């Protein structure tokens, strides 16, 4: 099975590239929402927490988001997906930065 870190050609839309298992059908995954929302420090202000918990940039275009390969390797990872087209531009392990393959 192709385990290479699959970065998306256009044809990899909701065929989600798990950084470990390779491209898999969306039904194997659970959505985790905006990956850019940063959890504040434990001593951060209530305002910071309100922002983290409630406010979203909700971009119309490339969106960095979290997915869990819930029916697969149980890894949480990052996906950059265009919310206008569902094209997946890239994916990365949870602790890596997303790098888009040059087209």
Partner 1 sequence: MKYSIFSLARNAVSHHERWPLAWRSPSPKPHYDAVIIGGGGHGLATAYYLARNHGMTNIAVLEKGWLGGGNTGRNTTIVRSNYHLDANAHFYEFSLKLWEGLAQELNFNVMYSARGVMNLVHSPADMDAAMRRGNAMRLNGIDAQFLSRDEIARRVPNLDCSSAARFPILGGLLQPRGGTVRHDAVAWGYARGADAQGVDVIQQCEVTGIRVSGGAVTGVETTRGFIATPKVGIAVAGHSGQVAAMAGITLPIESHVLQAMVSEPVKPVLDTVVTSGAVHFYISQSDKGELVMGGDLDFYNSYAQRGNLPIVEHVVGACLALFPNFGRLRLLRTWGGIMDMTMDGSPIIGKLPVPGLYMTGGWCYGGFKATPASGFLLAHTIAHDAPHALNAAFTLERFAQGRLLDEKGAGPYAWAH
Partner 2 sequence: MSEGAARAIGDRVPGQYGVVPATLTLREISIATAWNLQGNPMDAALLATARREFDVVLPLVPNTTSQSEGCLAMWLGPRSWLLVARDGSTHRMVRSTFAARRDALNDAGGALFEVSASRVAFMLEGPAASSVLAKECPLDFHPRVFGAGQCAQSMLGHVNALFYRPAATSAFIVLVARSMAGDVWHALCVSAAQHGYEVTHPAAFP
Partner 3 sequence: MIQPFRLPEGGNIDRARTIAYTYDGVAGEGFAGDTLASALLANGVHLVGRSFKYHRPRGIFSAGTEEPNALVQLNRGALTEPNARATTLELYEGLTAASQNCWPSVRFDVGAINNSMSRLIPAGFYYKTFMWPATPAWWLKYEQVIRHAAGMGRAASEPDPDAYEHQYAHCDVLVIGGGAAGLASARAAAHAGARVIVCDENPQWGGGPLVAGTRIDEQSAADWVNATVQALAAQADVTLLSRTTAFGYYDGNLVGAIERVTDHLVAAPHTPRQRLWKIRAQAVVLATGAIERGVAYANNDLPGTMLASAARTYVERFGVRPGKRAVIFTNNDGAYADAIALHAGGVEIAAIVDARAVAPFESAWPTRARALDLRVIAGAVLAGAHGRQHVSSVDVALRAGGAAQRIDCDLACISGGWNPSVHLFSQARGKLRYDDVLATFVPLASPLPIFPAGAANGCFDLAAALCEAHTAGAAAAGRAGLPAAPLPPPRANAIALAPLESLWTVPASRKSAKRFVDLQNDVTVDDIALAAREGYRSVEHLKRYTTLGMGTDQGKTSNIVGLALMAEQLEVPIPKVGTTTFRPPYTPLTLGALPGRDCGAHVEPTRYSAMHDWHVERGARFVNAGLWKRPHSYPLAGETEDDAANREARNVRVNVGLVDVSTLGKIELQGRDVALLLNRIYINKWDTLAENRCRYGVMLRDDGMVMDDGTTSRLSASHYLMTTTTVNAVKVMQQLEYLLQAQWPDLDVYATSVTEQWAAAALSGPKARDLLATIVDIDVSNAAFPFLAVGACQLRAAGGLIPARLFRMSYSGELAYEIHVAADQGRAMWEAVMAAGEPFGIMPYGTEAMSTLRIEKGHVVVGPEADGRTTADDLGMGKLVNGSKWCIGKPLLERPALLAADRWQLVGLTALDGAVMPRGAKIVADPGGATPNPMLGHVTSWCFSPNLDGWIALALVANGRARHGETLWAVSPLAAAKVRVKLGPPCFIDPDGERLRV
CB of 11 to partner 2, least distance (A): 15
How many other β-carbons are positioned within 10 Å of the β-carbon of residue 31?
12
Q: Does 53 bind partner 1 (CB under 8 A)?
A: yes
Say how far apart CA 56 and CA 76 lie, in whole Å.
Answer: 20
How big is the site for Zn ion, counted in residues (CB under 5 A)? 6
Contact yes or no for 92/19 (Cβ under 8 A): yes
Residue 61, CA atoms < 13 Å, CB-side half-sphere: 2
Q: Does 10 bind partner 3 (CB under 8 A)?
A: yes
Tell me the pairing of strands 88-93 and 30-34.
unpaired
Helix (H, G, I), strand (E, B) or coil at 23: strand
Q: Does 11 bind partner 1 (CB under 8 A)?
A: no
Q: Which is nearer to partner 1, 3 or 38 (CB)?
A: 38
User: Using CB distances below 5 to 8 A depending on partner kind, what does residue 45 bind out of partner 2, partner 1, Zn ion, none?
Assistant: none
* Residues at the contact surface with partner 1, assessed by CB under 8 A: 14, 26-27, 31, 33-34, 46-47, 50-51, 53-58, 60, 63, 65, 81, 83-86
């Amino acid at each position: 099975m192709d385990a290479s870190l699959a970065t998306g050609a256009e044809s990899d839309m909701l065929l989600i590239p798990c950084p470990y298992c390779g491209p898999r059908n969306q039904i194997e995954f659970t959505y985790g929402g905006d990956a850019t929302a940063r959890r504040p420090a434990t001593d951060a202000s209530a305002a910071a927490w309100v922002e983290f918990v409630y406010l979203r940039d909700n971009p119309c275009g490339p969106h960095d988001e979290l997915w869990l390969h819930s029916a697969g390797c149980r890894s949480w990872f990052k996906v950059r997906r265009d919310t206008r087209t569902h094209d997946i531009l890239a994916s990365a392990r949870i602790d890596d930065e997303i790098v888009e393959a040059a087209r």
